[in-house]
Chains A and B, each alone.
Chain A
């Protein structure tokens, strides 16, 4: 029985498994999409030097943040593309397929792509599913298929605090934000009339992403104090802070951005604009 040809310089299946579990959890925690590509030969390879050649070729084409590994059978390779989506993975495959066709005509390859944006998949399932799919498309050449079962991120609970003295406008903001539909996020909106009542509520003490929409001028702890106190907290980066101001002044806006505000909005403003900014902010959270 032939022994599989394992490359010395490439990580092996059993070594990668524990890394995968950590990477999968950081997908959720850091909102970083991970994409896994599996490749195998489309033709029957007898020469023992070919898998080694394939390993070296793939290794030479990867970025430092990508992780290449070889499966235990020696005929499949996997690559973890961190912070990358299916689009980048497809571009990578197209690039290497072109090079292989031109420079390594003895290598015919098929590939599968799995984009991972949740933690529902185990390493063993991932390998089994991809190997099955690669077997299914085994008759083709230069084929790329996708597994889409793990593309949907879990719905994440997000806190939103509106800190505005004017009760009527506060209600307007509360209603407008509560009615926002943002895919993969559920918003819990709370309102406060000043910075003091916001801090008294202790609502800020949780690990959730927290969107703060505050006026700059407020009685009892104004917007700039809120900004300063939140940004000085050890987990200050979980806060997304929008500051609203009636002062149409560049220096106030610059102070707000210098203090750590993510957006500065001059009043009066269009509510649709605020909603669009919020939507875009949450869309950007997933890279």
Chain B
């Protein structure tokens, strides 16, 4: 935080009785040695989200702020960032719920920075791809006589919360192991491994368990539980990891 620039007198003309100071981390790895914070005074209403405030900055103050976003409704998982020190989705975090007059936004931890608030997802997607995130079986619904692979509500319950993952990376950002172990597969991929292992239609359990049963796999989780705490979709990766360990230790089959 070498330099702070304040743009206090350039408030937008939007009518609002309340305003916050939005501190945005600025960093371009191509030519910056360290990040700096730029501050903006932004008016807000009770429904204004942090993403709205950042887009306000881009619209009226500084269009060069780099931020990734898309759906603006917590479905695409693009706008994950550190908001007041905690990994959150900017589109899913209302300014009014933060109870602070100063909001600091930084790029997610444990991800390489592209620029400002945008980070690279390559490692997470590689890990996700590695655990084979699809149903593995020899037949298909198209060829089978049954046409559908029916499941009971109880069978669906086994994995359905893990199917809500939007690959936003907040869990990986909050994970303390990810911070030190660059080869760790991460809570996102492990939760997805459980999602398919627990699916009664899937036949790829053994191959998936073999993939995560390596020196930087499932056993490096210390069960800090921070992944589950930050998930905006209510997925509990920490529980998924413990249930997966049950398979590997022979408590589940």
> Is B one of A's binding partners?
no
